Structure 1
Amino acid sequence: MPELRIDPFPSAAELNALWSAVWGTSESRDFTPILSRSLAHIGAYRDDRLVGFVNVAWDGGIHAFILDTSVHPDMQRQGIATRMVRQATSLARERGAEWLHVDFEQHLTGFYRACGFRPTKAGLIKLA
């Protein structure tokens, strides 16, 4: 079972490799500005290789947001995402958040319900 690390600050190369495998993106990004403002983030590592990641963004107050839940396709269906989201939930609570939000596609409803989330109505505008 992969080791979960709290606030590991993986390199851009590590995160970009994971993003490419999970999301099919080839665009390289610098995640430093994002992670430096996060309430928390969790990395799942197997043999020092990043195989999973979740970010907990926040508003600086009582609201936190699960973003970018990702597990390498070769490692999916092993409970890694569940462990990371549960760890993220605990960290958000410990660090002062009172509400934890997550947006997800319909096919992930069962997963997030199993992690303790309940559906709510929300709005969204695509800006780009």
Structure 2
Amino acid sequence: MTVTYEWRGGFGNAEVNALHAEAFRHPVLDTDWHARLHRHSLGWVCARDGGALAGFVNVAWDGDVHAFLLDTAVPATRRRAGIGAGLVAEAVAGARAAGCAWLHVDFAEELRPFYVDGCGFRPTPAGLVALTG
């Protein structure tokens, strides 16, 4: 089947919770993604293959010109097939259309080839403060 991408696409909380748990290796939670995204996000992108959720990314923002990629997730069986890059490309387009000037992403070093080489992000210095133990 053909993977389709939709900015602010429809989704069920259960399917995003299951995908997030697999992608980030934690137990399946009962997060209300609808409430979270509508409260804090500029948008999100859902990738679908037929009816199945094949990927997801959240685009948070500061309410002005900075947007932030969070929770990029693709099922393990579908990785390295271009779905993640498609999610990011749609997120870039959505943030640009909303008038954002910058799209930020933080990532673990092993994801550098994906974000920098595959998606066109430019490496920048950044800082981080751990707020929990």
TM-score of the alignment, normalized to the shorter chain, above 0.5:
yes
Match of 1:99 in 2: 102
Match of 1:32 in 2: 34
1:62 and 2:94 are equivalent in the alignment: no
CA RMSD of the aligned region, Å? 1.2
Q: Which amino acid aligns with 2:85?
A: T
Corresponding residue SS for 1:104: coil
Corresponding residue SS for 1:3: strand
Deviation of 1:107 after TM superposition, in Å, equals: 0.9
Corresponding residue SS for 2:23: helix
- Match of residue 83, structure 2, among 80, 84, 89: 80
Deviation of 1:125 after TM superposition, in Å, equals: 1.6
1:18 and 2:33 are equivalent in the alignment: no
Match of 1:125 in 2: 129
1:113 and 2:113 are equivalent in the alignment: no
Instruction: Please list the CA deviations of residues 57-94 of structure 1 after superposition, one character each: whole Å capped at 9, or x if unmatched.
Output: 10000100011111000111100000110111111111
Task: Tell me how far apart the structure 2 counterparts of residues 71 and 58 of structure 1 sit (CA, whole Å).
Answer: 22
**TM-score, scaled relative to structure 2:** 0.90
Runs (4+) of structure 1 exceeding 3 A deviation are none
Contact 1:51 1:75 in 2 (8 A): yes
Task: Tell me how far apart the structure 1 counterparts of residues 67 and 30 of structure 2 sit (CA, whole Å).
Answer: 26
Aligned residue pair count: 128
**Unmatched 5+ stretches in structure 1:** none
**TM-score, scaled relative to structure 1:** 0.93
Contact 1:67 1:102 in 2 (8 A): yes
